[in-house]
Amino acid sequence: MDFLHYQNGYLLADNVSICDLANQYGTPLYVYSADHITKQFLSYQDSLKNKKHLICYAAKANSNLSVLNLLAKLGAGFDIVSQGELERALKAGADPKKIVFSGVAKSVVEIRRALEVGIKCFNVESEPELYRINDIAHQLGKTANISLRINPDVDAKTHPYISTGLRENKFGISYQLALDTYRKAASLNNIKIVGIDCHIGSQLTELSPFLDAADRILALVDQLAAENIHLKHIDLGGGLGVCYDDEQPPSATLLVSKLIEKLKNYPELEIVFEPGRSIVANAGLLITKVEYTKHQDGNHFAIVDAGMNDLIRPALYQAWMQVLPVKESRDSNTKKIYNVVGPICESSDVLAYQRELSVEQDDLLVICSAGAYGFSMASNYNSHPRPAEVMLEDSNQHKLIRERETFDDLWRGELVL
């Protein structure tokens, strides 16, 4: 995380004191760097400046309105998977003609709303969904733009929970059925075929799965053209990994250059990407306070006020995330091997195992690389209010972009018998 550094023994983020942020906004606290988000988005955008393209940010990674608004101002489109994400994107100023709607279980209400606002296209994930979209478009007197999300049966070489491109995964239309499904789509009166889509997983750290998937998708493009089904865009999804520990994923620039090379014989095709994690993961951090240190039976625990309800990635994916003390320790004799654990009544509520730290009660810790799938997957488990969120802006300014939930928020909408 290039915007974190120590100065005079204390950790700063974009030259803003972590201690000051914690004092002003409380903990647990999510903090994001607008500058880092901008740079990551532009790494895709600038690499494609000589090619017709659209970068559709995957809203599921972090859907705060300020994050979406920042990206919309930069020219981003959005990849959404629910009506909630659609409404968020629109609220944040997104152009509906730059929105692609993915997801395996689009409801009638969701499809209707997307057609009414005029999204760019639906990424269709099954044959029944195709017919449902056609029927609703007919009822509304509209034509629905669609692409088929194809499952290319390519191993993304990532965690099984975030692998989406194998034949046993629930996502997309089988590669073997793709051509026939396109033929059926072409026969429907209220469907307009505009593209082809694939997304094989998340946190990919090698180029080969992307390139293998592109080869398979381009073979289908050729088959479709032979049957007079001509596409306007090819959507190559997202999933580019980031460095949490010692991973060395390819840069967005390298990925894009390799894929453009594969597409050199298809100048008519607009390229669409759906990055999420690679734009926001290392733009965000979670500040947490040590409530207690506990030492027993040779085990050392830093018990903090953030838990798996605030950041579920370590518990759900066994994800490794760097932990930094806000107060820099220069005395190695005070360090111990800690498990950093939260307040939730689950043994899985561990944010970090076996970390060498020098910490005391009331110290602050920072969980790094928490900008993606952090707050967006947070919950109120054990009736904990969700954290506040803050954006670091230019000139070392910071702004509250989500208020901390109150206890009244926890039961808002509930009724007593």
- Give the annotated binding-site residues: 239, 274-277, 313, 317, 346, 373
- DSSP H helical segments within 17-56, as ranges? 18-25, 34-47
Strand bridging mode 121-124 / 99-101: parallel
Strand bridging mode 299-304 / 336-341: parallel
345 assigned to active site: yes
Strand bridging mode 270-273 / 53-58: parallel
**What span, in angstroms and rounded, lies between the C-alpha atoms of 303 and 24?**
22
Q: Which of 121, 198, 345, 368 is catalytic?
A: 345
SS3 of 201, please?
A: strand
**What span, in angstroms and rounded, lies between the C-alpha atoms of 323 and 314?**
12
Compute φ and ψ for 191, nearest 5 degrees.
-120, 135
Q: Is the peptide bond before 209 cis (omega within 30 degrees of 0)?
A: no
End-to-end CA distance of the chain: 50
Among residues 275, 291, 152, 312, which one has the least CA distance to residue 220? Answer: 152
- Check if the beta carbon of residue 149 is closer than 8 Å to that of residue 173: yes
- DSSP H helical segments within 92-163, as ranges? 108-117, 127-140
Q: How deeply is 49 buried, as exposed, middle or buried, from its count of CB atoms within 10 A (0-12, 13-18, 19+)? A: exposed
- Check if the beta carbon of residue 306 is closer than 8 Å to that of residue 404: no
What tokens does 384 get? 């904990």
**What is the Cβ-side half-sphere exposure of residue 363, based on CA atoms within 13 angstroms?**
21
SS3 of 66, please?
A: helix
**How many Cβ atoms from other residues are within 10 Å of residue 278's Cβ?**
27
**What span, in angstroms and rounded, lies between the C-alpha atoms of 83 and 296?**
49
**What span, in angstroms and rounded, lies between the C-alpha atoms of 279 and 349?**
27
The residues near 139 (Cβ < 8 Å, ≥ 6 apart) are: none
Please state the residue numbers annotated as binding site for pyridoxal 5'-phosphate. Answer: 239, 274-277, 373
Please state the residue numbers annotated as binding site for substrate. Answer: 277, 313, 317, 346, 373
Q: Which amino acid, residue 324?
A: L
Active site residues: 345
